[in-house]
Structure 1
Amino acid sequence: MELRQIQYFMEVAKREHVTEAALALHVAQSAVSRQIFNLETELGVNLFIREGRNVKLTMIGQMFLEHMEQAMKVIEEAQREIEEYLDPKKGTIRIGFPSSLASHTLPTTISAFREHYPQVKFQLKQGSYSELIEGVINGDFDMALIGPVPKQEKKVLGTTLFTDNIVALLPSTHPLANEKAIKLGQLREDSFVLFPKEYVLREIIIRACEQIGFQPKVSFEGVDTDSIKGLVSAGLGITLIPEITLVDGFPRSTVKIPIIEPEVTRTVGVIIPRERKMLPTVRLFYDFLKDFFSRLDRYQM
């Protein structure tokens, strides 16, 4: 079994079409077909069901694909590790992140890091709270920025970088728009714009409202912070939102107001796999993150 055969097999499985796989691999269709035939002959099983020009994995083919995906991850990790040990300042870091940290926190830290290590490359992918945790556990990400920092996940190690206030974002025509601070209970009759169910930021807001005895009325939902801010800007409701998402300004026709009684916050930090060793370039960025926010915190104090 050759590495090339595995690569061709995985590409055909992905596209379910030999010709399209050959185009993606920049090789002749006959070369792909020959390698798949050789692989099936060596294994003694059919990996694909042929349906005209299309192909589909057999049951044994699906099982083989799952094993090969894991094997390729190990091979790619080994290649990265060798390259980074030769020169950690030229490696690649795979980072997951939520939408609430996309506009300011992530770009700011990467920009500051690249001033010291300009040749380091980044692969970035946005995800939900559970996707970020699973991605780190499964090896899809080297690390993930996340908020709040999980405390009960046994397979990830979380480090808090800072605490983020949750503030009210109101239309500028709202009766409380001129207040310097408001109590959360003053919003009990308002219509809220929140993330969909199962989003952790929605859970934080719901718990804060329930803590003082009311269930927020949700009129609209948005899957990211920009859509939520846009709905508030259009006068369709109010929201509670991490203050870090407003650091570069907030939408027209809206105002940001701190919340008191109760104060609503979330921790923001980074998670790494507890049982997997960090590669040298990843370690560089991880240590930089902790130092960067530690210095920022001392400066603000």
Structure 2
Amino acid sequence: MELRQIQYFIEVAKREHVTDAANVMHVAQSAVSRQVFNLEKELGVELFIREGRNVKLTPIGRVFLEHMKEAMQVIDNAKREVEEFLDPERGTIRIGFPSSLANYTLPTVISAFRDRYPQVKFKLVQGTYYYLKDAVVSGEIDIAVLGPVPKEEKKLKSEVLFQERFVALLPANHPLSGNRSISLSQLREDQFVLFPHGFVLRDIVINACKQNGFQPEVSFEGHDIDAIKGLVSAGLGVTLIPEITLIDNRPRSTVKVPVTEPEVTRSVGVVIPKERELLPTEKLFYEFLKDFYSMLGGFSK
């Protein structure tokens, strides 16, 4: 079994089309077909069901694909580790983050890190809270910055970097927009703009409202922070979001109002795998990240 065969097999499985896979890999279609055929012959099983120009994995093909993806990850990590062993300040860091940390938190620390280590490269992956936790466990990424910080995870090591508070974002014409602060219960009659089900920021807001005696009416949903802010700006509802997401980025026709009764907060931190070592460059960034926020005194928001 050759490395090239595995690479071609994975690409064909991803595209479900031999020609498309060949185009992506910049090789002849016949070369891809021949390598996949030789792989099937060596294994003694059919990995694909042929349907004209399209292909689909057989049941055993799906099992084989998962193992080969893991094998390629091990090979890629080994190559990176050798490269980074020679020079950790020129390696690549794979890091995941949710949209709520995309505009200020992560760019701030990456910018500071690159001032010190300008040759380091980053592979950034944006995703939901639960996807990012799974991605660290599976090895798709090695570091994720998350809020809230997960606790007592068997396969994850967590480190809290700082606490941040949530604020109310209201349309400028809202009756409470002129208040210096509000209690959460004052929004019980409002329509809310929140993330969809399955997003942890939605859960934080819903739980805070329930603890104050009401179930918020969700009128609209947005899949990222900017979408939610835009819906509030259009006057379609109110929301609670981390205050840090409004630094240098509060939409017009909206007002930020602190929520003091109760104060809604979340922890923000970093997670890494428990069951494997970080590569040298990633370890360099991980330690820098902890020191960075430690020097800022927790950067409490």
Length-normalised TM-score, structure 2: 0.96
Secondary structure of the corresponding residue to residue 249 of structure 1: coil
Letter in 1 for 2:101: L
Partner residue in 2 for 1:245: 245
TM-fit CA distance, 1:111? 0.8
Q: Is the 8 A contact 2:196 2:223 kept in 1?
A: yes
Deviations 1:40-81 (Å, cap 9, x if unpaired)? 121111222222222222222221111111111111111111
Secondary structure of the corresponding residue to residue 124 of structure 2: strand
Q: Is the 8 A contact 2:161 2:298 kept in 1?
A: no
Partner residue in 1 for 2:292: 292
TM-fit CA distance, 1:300? 7.9
Partner residue in 2 for 1:7: 7
Q: How many residues align?
A: 301
Question: Which shifted more, 140-149 or 11-20?
Answer: 11-20
**Is 1:254–2:254 an aligned residue pair?**
yes
Separation in structure 1 between the aligned mates of residue 266 and residue 6 of structure 2, nearest angstrom? 45
Secondary structure of the corresponding residue to residue 69 of structure 1: helix
Separation in structure 2 between the aligned mates of residue 137 and residue 100 of structure 1, nearest angstrom? 21
Question: Which shifted more, 48-57 or 226-235?
Answer: 48-57
Partner residue in 1 for 2:181: 181
Secondary structure of the corresponding residue to residue 70 of structure 1: helix
Separation in structure 1 between the aligned mates of residue 56 and residue 106 of structure 2, nearest angstrom? 40
Structure 1 residue runs without a partner (length 5+): none
Letter in 2 for 1:27: V
Separation in structure 2 between the aligned mates of residue 163 and residue 298 of structure 1, nearest angstrom? 7
Separation in structure 1 between the aligned mates of residue 216 and residue 124 of structure 2, nearest angstrom? 34
Q: Is the alpha carbon distance of 1:151 and 1:222 closer, same or farther for their aligned partners in structure 2, counting shifts above 3 Å?
A: same
Structure 2 residue runs without a partner (length 5+): none
**Is 1:129–2:124 an aligned residue pair?**
no
Letter in 1 for 2:102: A
Matches for 1:144-293 after TM superposition, within 5 Å = 144-293=144-293
Q: Is the 8 A contact 2:163 2:300 kept in 1?
A: no
TM-fit CA distance, 1:198? 2.0
Structure 1 segments of 4+ aligned residues over 4 angstroms from their partners: 298-301
Deviations 1:267-294 (Å, cap 9, x if unpaired)? 0011101111011000111011111111
TM-fit CA distance, 1:18? 1.8
Identity of aligned residues (%): 68
Partner residue in 2 for 1:70: 70
Secondary structure of the corresponding residue to residue 258 of structure 1: strand
Deviations 1:183-236 (Å, cap 9, x if unpaired)? 111111111111112211111111111112111111111111111111111111
Q: Is the 8 A contact 2:147 2:267 kept in 1?
A: yes
Secondary structure of the corresponding residue to residue 24 of structure 1: helix
Separation in structure 1 between the aligned mates of residue 299 and residue 217 of structure 2, nearest angstrom? 40
Partner residue in 1 for 2:95: 95
Question: Which shifted more, 60-69 or 85-94?
Answer: 60-69
Separation in structure 2 between the aligned mates of residue 119 and residue 286 of structure 1, nearest angstrom? 16
Q: Is the 8 A contact 2:165 2:243 kept in 1?
A: yes
Letter in 2 for 1:222: G
Length-normalised TM-score, structure 1: 0.96
Secondary structure of the corresponding residue to residue 22 of structure 2: helix
TM-fit CA distance, 1:299? 8.1
TM-fit CA distance, 1:249? 3.5
TM-fit CA distance, 1:298? 6.8
Secondary structure of the corresponding residue to residue 166 of structure 1: strand
Separation in structure 2 between the aligned mates of residue 7 and residue 181 of structure 1, nearest angstrom? 58
Separation in structure 2 between the aligned mates of residue 220 and residue 187 of structure 1, nearest angstrom? 16
Partner residue in 1 for 2:36: 36
Separation in structure 1 between the aligned mates of residue 224 and residue 294 of structure 2, nearest angstrom? 28
**Is 1:82–2:107 an aligned residue pair?**
no
Letter in 2 for 1:228: I
Q: Is the alpha carbon distance of 1:141 and 1:263 closer, same or farther for their aligned partners in structure 2, counting shifts above 3 Å?
A: same
Secondary structure of the corresponding residue to residue 297 of structure 1: coil
Deviations 1:233-289 (Å, cap 9, x if unpaired)? 111111111001001131101111111111110000111011110110001110111
Separation in structure 2 between the aligned mates of residue 261 and residue 211 of structure 1, nearest angstrom? 11
Partner residue in 2 for 1:23: 23
Q: Is the alpha carbon distance of 1:32 and 1:141 closer, same or farther for their aligned partners in structure 2, counting shifts above 3 Å?
A: same
Q: CA RMSD in A?
A: 1.5
Separation in structure 1 between the aligned mates of residue 237 and residue 119 of structure 2, nearest angstrom? 45
Q: Is the 8 A contact 2:163 2:299 kept in 1?
A: no
Secondary structure of the corresponding residue to residue 262 of structure 2: coil
Letter in 2 for 1:75: I
Letter in 2 for 1:146: L
